[in-house]
């Protein structure tokens, strides 16, 4: 009788565990280009810039609308007190009411306003808004470049972490094999126990390095998942070999010219200088005359424009031309002009400083790439030499003409050489990514 109860309890616990764990995330295989494309889609920073562009586009539409007619409709009702009617007698003996007692007053109006000439104020504000839109679009390109660099950095960091983990795991396997040989020689009396203890200590040290490498790989995976908008626990397979040859940097003067042409930060600051100057011109236009046309149609009961007043709905209209010229406004125009001029000069200074920093950044990234390529060649030679030394000493140790310490030293040298080579390869890829970011690609 107890068996069905036990089975039911096991199934209930299993279902609860599966429900708690939730659905298992599907593994994802990504090249670097696919990772960048996905990050650009899911980036909140890019979404923020898209929203800013939408706001700037709406601002342009608002500035453009200021030059078009403004049409409005209004209506209302007014209740007044009773008054004595006023009138005059006619020749026939009748009484003609001129001002009747009409306490209920209804009115409606269709109004049109059209600024014909604003001394360039509307045009300047519209141009400033369009330039600001261009600046925000360049800001989005800057953000996209930053996202590309962040994803590339995280991508190659994960590739490097996994390569380091493979190198350390392989080194641990070699140490385990050497430890087995040393223990066998201890068993037959060819080595003292101290040599075995030394190999065991070195093996434990490399196992610790493997644990640290695994932790670094987990952190790098989590960082890349964050940038790609993936759920925690998603398995990532990266389709990018670390040992792909990195091309050398072109001529430095060519790189600097390309950076000046392509960097979106420079373009954004340049158009913001023009936008500030356009706002300055709009502020100065307040001191010049403005011309407008106004008109409207009234439909009221009684209509106050028609005499004598009658308790009937009547229509009337009016058209007028107005000219306005602000002679003095307490210094407001002068302050707005000074503010716009200061903003333009500040942005111009930022532009010049960025141009100076850009030249240094391009040179720095190009030098880093050249140094990384040279380090790869040196590291390859070091790995080749360390691998050969480890092989020769292993054979000599097997023949009894080399000590265990010699083998350990060769093993440590090989591990360090392989780790140095991995770091050099990763540095080259990161240096290339930073150079492309500096060039605005």
Same domain, 45 and 112: no
The reply to whether 58 falls in a domain is: yes
For residue 431, CA distances in Å to 154, 265, 434 come to: 13, 20, 5
The reply to whether 303 falls in a domain is: yes
The reply to whether 343 falls in a domain is: yes
Q: Would you state the pLDDT for residue 80?
A: 92
The reply to whether 16 falls in a domain is: no
Same domain, 108 and 246: no
Same domain, 383 and 411: yes
Q: Which domain holds residue 245?
A: 26-67+118-287+331-438
pLDDT digits (tens, 9 = 90+) for 300-355: 999 988 888 888 999 999 999 999 888 888 888 899 999 999 999 999 999 999 98
Residue with token string 């295989």 = 29
Same domain, 373 and 421: yes
CATH code of residue 149: 1.20.1600.10
Same domain, 306 and 397: no
Q: Which residues, listed in sequence order, are joined to residue 323 by a DSSP beta bridge?
A: 291
**Cα atoms in the 13 Å half-sphere on the side-chain side of 281:** 17
Same domain, 111 and 141: no
Residue with token string 């011309």 = 291
pLDDT digits (tens, 9 = 90+) for 146-182: 999 999 999 999 988 988 888 888 888 888 888 888 8
C-alpha span between 82 and 79 (Å, rounded): 9
H or E segment to which residue 257 belongs: helix 252-262
Q: Return the minimum-mean-pLDDT range out of 28-37, 89-98, 159-168, 356-365.
A: 89-98
What are phi and psi for residue 291, nearest 5 degrees? -120, 135
pLDDT digits (tens, 9 = 90+) for 224-275: 999 998 888 888 888 877 777 777 777 888 888 888 888 999 999 999 999 9
Residue 240, SS3?
coil
pLDDT exceeds cutoff 50 at 186? yes
Q: Tell me which of 274, 300, 324 is where a domain ends.
A: 324
Average pLDDT on 409-433 reads: 87
Tokens describing residue 155: 């991508």
The reply to whether 308 falls in a domain is: yes
Q: Tell me which of 302, 324, 346 is where a domain ends.
A: 324
DSSP state letter for 287: G
Q: Is the peptide bond before 164 cis (omega within 30 degrees of 0)?
A: no
Tokens describing residue 421: 């080579």
Same domain, 187 and 309: no
C-alpha span between 167 and 162 (Å, rounded): 9
Same domain, 74 and 171: no
Same domain, 357 and 270: yes
pTM beyond cutoff 0.85:
no
Buried b (16+ CB within 10 A) or exposed e, 163-179: bbbebbbebbebbeebb
The reply to whether 1 falls in a domain is: no
Same domain, 433 and 364: yes
The reply to whether 219 falls in a domain is: yes
Q: Would you state the pLDDT for residue 9?
A: 40
The reply to whether 136 falls in a domain is: yes
Same domain, 151 and 204: yes
- Mean pLDDT taken over the chain: 86
DSSP tally for the chain: helices H, then strands E: 9, 8
Neighbours of 185 (CB within 10 A): 18
C-alpha span between 91 and 248 (Å, rounded): 111
Q: Would you state the pLDDT for residue 24?
A: 52
Neighbours of 264 (CB within 10 A): 18
How would residue 59 be classed by pLDDT, with cut points 50, 70 and 90?
Answer: very high
How would residue 392 be classed by pLDDT, with cut points 50, 70 and 90?
Answer: confident
pLDDT exceeds cutoff 60 at 4? no
pLDDT exceeds cutoff 80 at 16? no
Q: Would you state the pLDDT for residue 11?
A: 43
Q: Would you state the pLDDT for residue 12?
A: 44
Same domain, 171 and 219: yes
- Domain count for the chain, please give it: 2
């Amino acid at each position: 009788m107890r068996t069905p109860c036990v089975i039911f309890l096991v199934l209930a616990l299993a279902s609860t565990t599966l429900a708690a764990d939730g659905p298992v995330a599907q593994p994802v295989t990504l090249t670097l280009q696919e990772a960048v494309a996905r990050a650009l889609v899911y980036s909140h920073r890019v979404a923020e810039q898209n929203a800013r562009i939408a706001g700037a586009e709406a601002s342009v539409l608002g500035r453009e609308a200021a030059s078009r007619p403004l049409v409005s409709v209004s209506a209302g009702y007014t209740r007044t007190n009773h008054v004595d009617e006023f009138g005059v007698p006619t020749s026939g003996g009748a009484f003609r009411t001129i001002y009747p007692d009409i306490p209920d007053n209804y009115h409606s109006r269709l109004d049109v306003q059209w600024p014909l000439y604003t001394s360039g104020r509307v045009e300047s504000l519209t141009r400033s808004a369009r330039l600001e839109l261009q600046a925000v679009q360049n800001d989005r390109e800057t953000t996209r470049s930053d996202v590309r660099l962040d994803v590339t950095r995280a991508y190659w960091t994960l590739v490097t972490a996994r390569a380091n983990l493979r190198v350390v795991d392989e080194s641990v396997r070699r140490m385990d094999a050497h430890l087995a040989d040393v223990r066998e020689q201890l068993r037959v009396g060819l080595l003292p126990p101290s040599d075995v203890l030394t190999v065991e200590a070195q093996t434990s040290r490399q196992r610790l390095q493997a644990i640290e490498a695994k932790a670094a790989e987990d952190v790098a995976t989590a960082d890349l998942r964050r940038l790609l908008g993936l759920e925690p626990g998603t398995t990532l397979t990266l389709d990018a070999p670390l040992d792909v040859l990195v091309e050398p940097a072109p001529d430095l003067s060519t790189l600097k010219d390309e950076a000046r042409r392509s960097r979106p930060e420079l373009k954004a600051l340049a158009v913001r200088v023009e936008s500030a100057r356009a706002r300055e011109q709009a502020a100065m236009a307040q001191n010049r005359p403005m011309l407008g046309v106004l008109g409207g149609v009234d439909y009221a009961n009684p209509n106050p424009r028609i005499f004598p007043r009658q308790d009937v709905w009547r229509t009337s209209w009016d058209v007028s031309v107005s000219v306005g010229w602000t002679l003095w406004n307490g210094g407001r125009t002068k302050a707005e002009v000074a503010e716009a001029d200061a903003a333009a000069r500040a942005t111009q200074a930022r532009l010049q400083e960025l141009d100076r920093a850009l030249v240094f950044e391009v040179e720095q990234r190009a030098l880093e790439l050249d140094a990384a390529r040279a380090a790869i060649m040196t590291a390859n030679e070091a790995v080749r030499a360390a691998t050969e030394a480890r092989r020769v000493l292993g054979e000599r140790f097997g023949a009894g003409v080399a000590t265990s310490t010699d083998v350990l030293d060769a093993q440590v040298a090989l591990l360090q050489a392989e780790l140095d080579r991995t770091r050099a390869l990763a540095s080259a890829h990161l240096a290339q990514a930073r150079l492309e970011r500096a060039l605005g690609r």
